A and B are shown apart, each in its own frame.
Chain A
Amino acid sequence: MAAKKLNIKDKYRLLTRDLDWEYSYADRKEAFPYEDFEGIKITDWSKWEDPFRLTMDTYWKYQAEKEKKLYAIFDAFAQNNAHMNVSDPRYVNAIKIFLTGVSPLEYQAYQGFAHTGRQFGGVGARVACQMQSLDELRHVQTQIHAMSHFNKFFDGFQEYSHMHDRVWYLSVPKSFFNDARTAGPFEFMIAIGFSFEYVLTNLLFVPFMSGAAHNGDMATVTFGFSAQSDEARHMTLGLEVIKFLLEQHEDNVEIVQKWIDKWFWRGSRLLTIVAMMMDYMLPNKVMSWKEAWEVYFEEAGGALFKDLARYGIRMPKYSEIIEKEKEHISHQAWWTFYTHGHAAGFHTWIPTDEELDWLSEKYPETFDKYYRPRWELAKEMEAKGERFYTKGLPQLCTTCQIPMLFTEMDDPTQTSYRDTTYNGERYHFCSDGCKDIFEDEPEKFVQSWLPVHQIFQGNCGGPDVGDILSDFYHMNVGTDNMDMKGSPDELRWKQWKGVA
Chain B
Amino acid sequence: MSIEIKTATLEPVRNTFAHIERRFGDKPATRYQEATYDVQSEKYFHYRPLWQPEMELNDPRRTALVMEDWYAFKDPRQFYYGTYVQQRAKMQEVAESNYAFFEKRDLKRLLSDDLQQKVIRYLVPLRHFEHTANLNNMYGSSQGYGTAITQALLYDGMDRLGIAQYLSRIGLILDGNSGDALGEAKSYWMSEEIWQGVRALCEETTVTKDWFELFIAQDVVMDALVYDLVYNQFDAWLADNGGQDISMLTEFMQLWNKDNTRWVDAVLKAAVAESAENKALLEGWVTTWKEKAVAALKPLAEEMLDAEAMDKAVAALDKRLTKAGLFK
Interface presence of B34 (CB below 8 A): yes
- CA–CA, A151 and B13, complex, Å: 8
The answer to whether B18 and A158 have CB atoms under 8 Å apart is yes
A34 to B50, CA, bound (A): 10
Assess A448 versus B47: contact at CB under 8 Å? Given A21-B186, A153-B10, A161-B19: yes
Contact (Cβ within 8 A) B165 A18: no
Please give the distance in Å from A492's CB to the nearest CB on chain B: 7
* Identity of the chain B residue whose Cβ is nearest the Cβ of A38 in the assembled complex: B50
Measured in the bound complex, the distance between the Cα atoms of B273 and A178 in whole Å is 34
User: Which 10 A/B pairs are nearest by Cβ-Cβ distance?
Assistant: A56-B162, A64-B89, A152-B12, A26-B203, A25-B200, A114-B142, A19-B131, A118-B138, A141-B35, A31-B206
Kindly state whether residue B96 has any CB partner on chain A within 8 Å: yes
Considering the chains assembled together, what is the distance between the CA atoms of A174 and B46 in angstroms? Answer: 8
B165-A107 in contact (CB<8A): no
Measured CA separation A183–B135 after assembly (Å) = 21
A 151-195 contacts with B by CB, 8 A: 151-155, 157-162, 164-166, 171, 174-175, 178-179, 181-185
Given contacts A25-B204, A67-B81, A182-B47, contact A14 B182 (CB under 8 A): yes
Chain B proximity mask over A14-42: 1 for CB below 8 Å, otherwise 0: 11101111111111001101100100000
Q: Are A137 and B154 in contact (CB under 8 A)?
A: yes
Residues of A contacting B: mostly: helix
With a CB–CB cut-off of 8 A, which chain B residues contact A152?
12-16
Specify the chain A residue showing the minimal Cβ separation from B92. Answer: A57
Given the known interface contacts A21-B186, A114-B141, the answer about A166 and B44 at a Cβ–Cβ threshold of 8 Å is yes
CB pair A184 B41 closer than 8 Å: no
A223-253 near B? 1/0 per residue, CB < 8 Å: 0000000000000000000000000000000
Which residue from A80, A179, A182, A449 sits with its C-beta under 8 Å from B7?
A80
A113 to B, closest residue via Cβ: B142
Query: B46 contacts which of A20, A123, A448 (Cβ < 8 Å)?
Result: A448
A485 part of interface (Cβ distance < 8 Å): no
When distances are taken between beta carbons in the complex, the residues of chain A under 8 Å from B48 are 182, 447
Query: Does B233 touch A at the CB level, under 8 Å?
Result: no
Asked if A331 is at the interface of the complex by the 8 Å CB criterion, the answer is no
**Complex A-B: 19 CB contacts under 8 Å:** A3-B103, A5-B177, A15-B169, A25-B199, A31-B135, A31-B207, A68-B86, A130-B158, A134-B158, A142-B82, A148-B17, A159-B17, A181-B49, A182-B46, A447-B48, A448-B47, A449-B45, A449-B46, A454-B44
Say yes or no: is B57 at the interface (Cβ < 8 Å to chain A): yes
Chain B residues lying within 8 Å of A185, measured Cβ to Cβ, are 51
| Contacting residue for B17 out of A23, A104, A161, A179, CB 8 A | A161
* Nearest neighbor of A492 in chain B, beta-carbon distance: B13
B16–A151 contact, CB under 8 A? yes
Quick one: closest A residue to B90, CB to CB?
A: A64
Whether A456 sits at the interface, judged by CB under 8 Å, is no
B60 within 8 A of A: no
Residues of B close to A178: CB separation below 8 A: 45-47, 57
Q: Closest approach, in angstroms, between the C-beta of B152 and any C-beta of chain A?
A: 11
Residues facing A in B136-172 (CB within 8 A) are: 138-139, 141-142, 147, 150-151, 154, 157-159, 161-162, 164-166, 168-169, 172
In Å, the complex CA distance between A171 and B45 comes to 9
Shortest B55–chain A CB gap in Å is: 10
CA distance A178 to B207 in the complex (A): 25
A258 within 8 A of B: no
Determine the distance from Cα of A188 to Cα of B261 in the docked complex, in whole angstroms: 34
Would you give the shortest CB distance from A496 to chain B, in whole angstroms?
6
Per DSSP, chain B at the interface is helix
B182: chain A residues at CB < 8 Å are: 14, 18
Nearest CB of chain B from residue A5's CB, rounded to whole Å = 7
* Distance between A253 CB and nearest chain B CB, rounded to angstroms: 21
A141 near B81 with CB under 8 A, answer: yes
A309 at the B interface (CB under 8 A): no
A227 CB, nearest partner CB in chain B, Å = 12
Whether B131 pairs with A64 at a CB distance below 8 angstroms is: no
The answer to the question of A384 belonging to the interface, with a C-beta cut-off of 8 Å to chain B, is no
Say yes or no: B165 contacts A474, CB within 8 Å: no
Indicate which residue in B44, B85, B138 contacts A114 across the interface (CB closer than 8 Å).
B138
- Contact present for B128 and A19 (CB under 8 Å): yes
The smallest beta-carbon distance between A161 and chain B, in angstroms, is 5
The one of B34, B47, B154 that contacts A134, using a Cβ cutoff of 8 Å: B154
B262 part of interface (Cβ distance < 8 Å): no
A14, A104, A153, A445 interface centre (most CB from chain B within 10 Å): A14
B18 close to A133 (CB less than 8 A): no
The answer to whether B46 and A171 touch across the interface, beta carbons within 8 angstroms, is yes
B43 and A165 form a contact (CB under 8 A): yes
Asked if B100 is at the interface of the complex by the 8 Å CB criterion, the answer is no
A25 touches B203 (CB 8 A): yes
Distance in angstroms between the alpha carbons of A130 and B139 in the assembled complex: 11
Closest B-chain residue to A166, C-beta based? Answer: B44
CB contacts (< 8 Å) of B49 on chain A: these are 181-182
Does B17 lie within 8 Å of A151, measured CB to CB?
yes
| Contact A447/B38 with A3-B176, A118-B135, A160-B17 known, Cβ cut-off 8 Å | no
User: Which residues in chain B, 201-249, are within 8 Å of chain A measured between CB atoms?
Assistant: 203-204, 206-207
Is A48 part of the contact surface with B, judged by Cβ < 8 Å? no
**Residue B34 contacts which of A123, A148, A448 (CB distance < 8 angstroms)?**
A148
A285 CB within 8 Å of chain B: no
Which A residues, 418 to 457, have Cβ-Cβ distances below 8 Å to chain B?
A: 444-445, 447-449, 454
Instruction: Give bound CA distance, A171 to B95, whole Å.
Output: 46
User: A317 — which chain B residues lie within 8 A by C-beta?
Assistant: none
Instruction: Judge whether A61 and B89 touch: CB under 8 Å.
Output: yes
B176 touches A64 (CB 8 A): no
Q: Which residues of B contact A111 (CB under 8 A)?
A: 40, 58, 142, 150
- Chain A residues near B8: list those with CB within 8 A: 81
Are A4 and B162 interface neighbours, CB within 8 A? no
Residues of B close to A155: CB separation below 8 A: 13
B199-A130 in contact (CB<8A): no
**Contact between B19 and A159 (Cβ–Cβ < 8 Å)?**
yes
> Closest residue of chain A to B91, judged by CB?
A60
> Bound state CA distance, A256 and B168, in angstroms?
37
Judge whether B289 is part of the interface by a CB distance below 8 angstroms.
no
**B93, chain A: closest CB distance, angstroms:** 7
**Cβ-based interface call for A1 (8 A):** yes
B18 → chain A closest CB, angstroms: 4
User: Please, which residue of chain A has its CB at the minimum distance from the CB of B201?
Assistant: A25
Within the complex, which residue of A19, A79, A114, A174 is in contact with B41, where a contact is CB–CB below 8 Å?
Answer: A174
Q: Nearest CB to that of A116 among chain B residues?
A: B142
Please judge, given known A-B contacts A14-B179, A31-B206, A61-B93, whether A179 and B44 are in contact too, CB under 8 Å: no
Q: Does B320 belong to the interface (CB within 8 Å)?
A: no
Contact: A181 with B168, CB < 8 Å?
A: no
Contact among A4, A67, A154, A158 with B82 in the assembled complex (CB-CB below 8 Å):
A67
Assembled-state Cα–Cα distance A151/B17 (Å)? 7
Residues of chain B within 8 A of A445, CB atoms compared: 47
- Chain A: CB-nearest residue to B43: A165
Measured CA separation A56–B81 after assembly (Å): 14
CB distance from A187 to the nearest CB of B (A): 9
Instruction: Give every chain A residue within 8 A of B96 (Cβ-Cβ).
Output: 57
